[in-house]
Amino acid sequence: MSNQRLGVGIIGTGNISSAYLKAILGRDGLPGFDVLDIRAIADMRPEAAAARAAEFGLRSVTVEELLADPEIKLVLNLTIPRAHVEVGLRCLAAGKHVYSEKPLGINFAEGKRLLDAATAAGLRIGSAPDTFLGGSHQQARAVVDSGALGQIVGGTAFFQCPGHESWHPDPAFYYDIGGGPVLDMGPYYITDLVNLLGPVARVSAMASRLRTERPVTSEPKRGEIMPVKVDTHVTGSLGFANGAIVQVGLSFDVAGHKHVPLEIYGTEASLIVPDPNFFGGAVELRKRGREETWNPIEVTQPYADGNYRSLGLADMAKAILEDRPHRANGDLALHVLEVMEAFATASAEGRTVDINTPVERPAPLASVLADGRL
């Protein structure tokens, strides 16, 4: 079983494809994922696919050729957010399982349409982010599961930055429909919180969009003006089914702050969880009492020492071959999408929004690791 490989095709060769390919093929000191057999890559821009294929020694084809290839069983969908569901549906129609870059879709209705189509076809949906499978986040999960925090009371989750126009070569999509801090960065934070605490039951929020245009300051599009079509500063609270309440701040408008990305509070101890945009980072615990000491938790779980952006894809491929559930699954992604959409609804309508999609916490990754690696 361990020597089996699954044929994979990649659609979309933008910025993030390089990180996926380095992790899959074992570049930059990473071990690679042998279960993933990259058969071809494609893009609506043939020249972009050809360039990425040449960079990594792969074969570039048209999207139509990729979908017609019987050796490709699973498609990694790295297109822009607004195309995720459209491309995913084409893959399902071609009989392929689909693993999508986040978010699953730009709204709940189209995300559910994708999952319903997969169910009808007997195929699987997977979705980023998979950073919650990283060693530090799995270590934090083990602390929560141990009961060391006592009863979980709540927490905080903060991603706040000035925006992406100062560094990204083509940042306009961050401010278009399907972008914004909630759909762009929210998946990392909310997915990790569900991994740690279980399903969200309700959402309250307020949001603002103080600028309707923003200038690009990065190259090669410096000086271009981008319309802002989404809220860029969002705050709110997540009420979890277990009773915990987590305060959330997501913004593309903040010059700087001193919040840590994630904290979890319990009656007996509090836990600092590292940035959920990364697989590693420091995990710290402070026990109840007068001593103001945060003690480091040793990270012994694997996948904490690099950018393993494809770990969820590899787990999905192994799960298909082994006929077991995969962790970065469609139900989890749809639940997170419903939560993210609820921020906008709660803000616009001035009410608390109930979350209805059922989801189970993904199984700890260590349960399938025989030798410390997937």
How would you write the pLDDT of the chain (374 residues) with one tens digit per residue?
Answer: 357 999 999 999 998 999 999 999 999 999 999 999 999 999 999 999 999 999 999 999 999 999 999 999 999 999 988 999 999 999 999 999 999 999 999 999 999 999 999 999 999 999 999 999 999 999 999 999 999 999 999 999 999 999 999 999 999 989 998 899 999 999 999 999 999 999 999 999 999 999 999 999 999 999 999 999 999 999 999 999 999 999 999 999 999 999 999 999 999 999 999 999 999 999 999 999 877 899 999 999 999 999 999 999 999 999 999 999 999 999 999 999 999 999 999 999 999 999 999 999 999 987 556 555 67
The dihedral sign for the CA sequence 273, 275, 281, 282? negative
∠ CA 133-287-130, rounded to 5°: 10
HEC secondary structure over the chain: CCCCCEEEEEECCCHHHHHHHHHHHCCCCCCCCCCEEEEEEECCCHHHHHHHHHHHCCCECCHHHHHHCCCCCEEEECCCHHHHHHHHHHHHHCCCEEEECCCCCCCHHHHHHHHHHHHHHCCCEEECCCHHHCHHHHHHHHHHHHCCCCCEEEEEEEEECCCCCCCCCCHHHHHCCCCHHHHHHHHHHHHHHHHHHCCEEEEEEEEECCCCEEECCCCCCCCCEEECCCCCEEEEEEEECCCCEEEEEEECCCCCCCCCCEEEEECCEEEEECCCCCCCCCEEEEECCCCCCCEEECCCCCCCCCCCCCHHHHHHHHHHHHCCCCCCEHHHHHHHHHHHHHHHHHHHHCCCEECCCCCCCCCCHHHHCCCCCC
Fold of 132-302+334-354: Dihydrodipicolinate Reductase; domain 2 (3.30.360)
pLDDT at 113: 98
Query: Structure tokens of 149?
Result: 């925090």
Ranges of CATH 3.30.360.10 domains, the chain: 132-302+334-354
- 303 with 183: CB under 8 angstroms? no
| 118 CA to centre of own chain | 20
**CB within 8 Å of 122: residues ≥ 6 apart:** none
pLDDT at 1: 39
Alpha carbon separation from 340 to 82, 304, 306 (Å, rounded)? 15, 27, 28
pTM: 0.95
Highest CATH level, class, for 6-130+308-329+363-368: alpha beta
Q: How far apart are CA 290 and CA 159, in angstroms?
A: 29
Ranges of CATH 3.40.50.720 domains, the chain: 6-130+308-329+363-368
Cα atoms in the 13 Å half-sphere on the side-chain side of 148: 17
pLDDT at 118: 98
For tokens 């799960």, name the residue: 319
